[in-house]
Structure formats: C-alpha cells, structure tokens
C-alpha cells in the first residue's frame, strides 16, 4: 500500500515552495522505508527549483541530504533493521552493470544514475509519481544498495549535509591523494568549502582558504586552515604562486579562475565542484608551463560515501549548520542566493506542518 507523504515542493521555476502531499511506494523486497528527520539544503536545489540547467519537472520536491530512522525493511534487506540511523544522498539507483557501477563509482554510471529527486522514477506505477521526489518530505523509500549507515557519534542534523557536501569534497581529496605534507587551497568558504577545509586538515594537509574578503578568516582558522588568501590582493596572489598541489574550487557562481592557475605547483590540479552555468575562460600557457590540470569531480560512490561518514566520525567532523523549520525554506533560499548562511541550512522535518 503506498505511503502517504507530506512535503514542501516547487510548482514552477518562479513560485515559492509550498506544502505538497503525495505517495511513496510500498517497500519492496529490497527496499528500506525511512522516516526523515533532517534534510540539508544544497545550492544545487536552487538550480533545480529555478530550472537553471533546464529539464526540471514540477511539482518537484528537492532534497538529497537526508538523515533519518529506518521504519521498515523488505524481505531481502540484510544491511539495515528498523531503528537504524541512516542517510540518503544524491542517488537512489543506477544501472549497476556498467564499468563505473561495477567499480563502485555509481556517480559516473554510463546511462546515468537516478537522482534522489527530479529524475524519471522506475517505480512510478507503484507511487504514482513520474519523477523521484526528494528529502524535503517526512518519508522516503530507497533500495538498500543506496542507503548509508550514519555512525552513532554523528548527530542526525549535522550528518545530513555530509550526504552531499561532505562526499563532494571528500572524493576529490582522496582521488588526488591528499595526505600529510599536501598543500591544499579551498576557494570559497561555504557549504562545500567548509567541509573541504575540515576534511583536508584531518588528512594532514596544510590548508589555505581563498575568498573575496576576510570576513570568514576567523572561521577558516577555527576549522584548521593555516592561511587565508584574498584573491583580489594581487601582491598576495603573486607571493602564493606555485604553492599548491591541489585547489578545491567550490564556487557556484561565474567567476574568474585563470589567475588561480598560477597558484598551482608543477603537476598541480584545480578541481571544479561548483555548478556554474556559464563558461569560465582558461588559458593554455599556465597549464602547459607547469603541467597543470583543471578537473571536475562529482560526489562519490556509495562505498566511498560510507567511507567518508566513517572518516568524519573518526575525526569528529560535522557540518556547521543552521536548523530551520520547513516554513522557512523560501527565506533560506533567498539567503542562500546571497551566501548568507554559515554554512548549511538543515530543515527540521519533524516540524513539517502542511497548515503552515
């Protein structure tokens, strides 16, 4: 029997999010039913709600940073039991047969993974929903292969953003081999950037935060950054030339990056994580002169996401959050567009009230 679900949804690219009721599918043999307790607000939620990249379908329930408790499991489920603390990130399925999926890199599924919201839902016959609907809701049903264990030491509210922000930064730090002695710069101290700083410091790197002003310098130092660089300070930028093995660029707005390439050491890489919707000019000479690279990275696979959660638990890493009620979502969106959050909004789903 379908599960009645309450949520907040966007009904168009221009309309504010409003209360919305729909059905989740009844858990199948491989499914886990979850009562959602907290859901993070990711900058990509804004892009999807506003149809910035095209293809958004409405009504749309955003949210792919989900933390909650298991309420039911299917007959074939072996990884979870009722009462477990669990999370769901950006994916709820993939083809599971392509090379990327077989290698545990489901985020690079060749046909494309099934996003937690806004993608065609292969279970639409059971739920009545043509697209997947996300975590700004009180319940969700997910195949056990795409559910994560949240360690007991991480409170659910600060755990929620780890399911996207946490893995988005952890994956490139691991892929590019960050460890003791590494010199890492993080561009932008926001939802992604503050996680990159904490994780890189825990891995043993010497971390520099790059920003447009010094208003977050104290926060960066509190998180373990050794240096703070204002990227409009030409003298400071020149002095920092050829300093970094890796630059994690988390900025989601269109911005100048060509000058940042001079900061990379030989064989250094700048990894782009922000969902910018316009081109960013890059020139060949700074790249070839020191064999530098500009690269991209997209979340992480399920195995690596669990590794990240365990790493954060081991090192006492959590997101810095501002908890809001569901009826404050539109206000949070407006503030997020102005970068007015330190450093992640998290919705307290237990306060969901459709009368709001």
Higher pLDDT, 338 or 329: 329
Higher pLDDT, 53 or 309: 309
Q: In this structure, are residues 347 and 333 in contact, taking their beta carbons and an 8 Å threshold?
A: no
- Quick one: pLDDT at residue 14? 93
pLDDT band for 127, please (50, 70, 90 cuts): confident
Mean pLDDT rounded to a whole number for the chain: 94
**Which residues make Cβ contacts (< 8 Å) with residue 13, sequence separation at least 6?**
49, 50, 51, 56, 58
pLDDT band for 224, please (50, 70, 90 cuts): very high
Above 50 in pLDDT, residue 81?
A: yes
Residue intervals in the chain for CATH 3.40.50.720? 166-296
Give the DSSP per-residue string, 157-226. HHHGGGGTHHHHHHHHHHHTT--TT-EEEEE--SHHHHHHHHHHHHTT-EEEEEESSSTTHHHHHHTT-S
Which of the following CATH numbers is that of domain 166-296: 3.90.930.12, 3.40.190.10, 3.40.50.720, 3.30.499.10? Answer: 3.40.50.720
Residue intervals in the chain for CATH 3.90.180.10? 3-164+320-351
Above 70 in pLDDT, residue 354?
A: no
Structure tokens at 322: 């501002």
- Quick one: pLDDT at residue 280? 82
- Model pLDDT for residues 255-300, shown as the tens digit of each residue: 888 889 999 999 999 999 987 777 888 889 999 999 999 999 999 9
Above 70 in pLDDT, residue 355?
A: no
The CATH architecture annotation of domain 3-164+320-351 reads: Alpha-Beta Complex (3.90)
Mean pLDDT lowest among 73-87, 168-182, 331-345: 331-345
């Amino acid at each position: 029997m379908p599960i009645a679900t309450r949520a907040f949804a966007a009904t168009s690219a221009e309309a504010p999010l409003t209360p919305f009721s729909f059905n989740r599918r009844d858990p199948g043999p491989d499914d886990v039913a979850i009562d959602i307790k907290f859901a993070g607000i990711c900058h990509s939620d804004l892009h999807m709600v506003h149809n910035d990249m095209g293809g958004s379908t409405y009504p749309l329930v955003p949210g792919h940073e989900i933390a909650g408790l298991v309420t039911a499991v299917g007959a074939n489920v072996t990884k979870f039991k009722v009462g477990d603390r669990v999370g769901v990130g950006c994916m709820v399925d993939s083809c599971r047969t392509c090379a990327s999926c077989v290698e545990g890199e489901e985020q690079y599924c060749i046909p494309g993974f099934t996003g937690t919201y806004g993608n065609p839902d292969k279970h639409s016959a059971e739920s009545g929903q043509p697209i997947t609907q996300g975590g700004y809701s009180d319940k969700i049903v997910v195949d056990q292969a795409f559910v994560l264990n949240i360690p007991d030491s991480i409170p659910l509210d600060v755990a929620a953003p780890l399911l996207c922000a946490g893995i988005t930064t952890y994956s490139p730090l691991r892929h590019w081999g960050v460890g003791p002695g590494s010199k890492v710069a993080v561009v932008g101290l926001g939802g992604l950037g503050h996680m990159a700083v904490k994780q890189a410091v825990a891995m043993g790197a010497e971390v520099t935060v790059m920003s447009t002003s010094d208003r977050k310098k104290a926060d960066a130092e509190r998180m373990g950054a050794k240096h703070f660089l204002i990227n409009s300070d030409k003298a400071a930028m020149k002095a920092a030339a050829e300093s970094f093995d890796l630059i994690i660029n988390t900025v989601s707005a269109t911005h100048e990056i060509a000058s940042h390439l001079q900061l990379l050491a030989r064989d250094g890489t700048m990894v782009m994580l922000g969902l910018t919707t316009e081109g960013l000019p890059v020139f060949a000479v700074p790249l070839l002169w020191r064999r530098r690279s500009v690269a991209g990275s997209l979340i992480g696979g399920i195995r690596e996401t669990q590794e990240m959660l365990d790493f954060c638990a081991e090192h006492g890493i959590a997101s810095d959050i501002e908890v809001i009620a569901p009826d404050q979502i539109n206000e949070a969106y407006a503030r997020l567009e102005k970068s007015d959050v330190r450093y992640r909004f998290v919705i307290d789903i237990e306060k969901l009230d459709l009368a709001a």
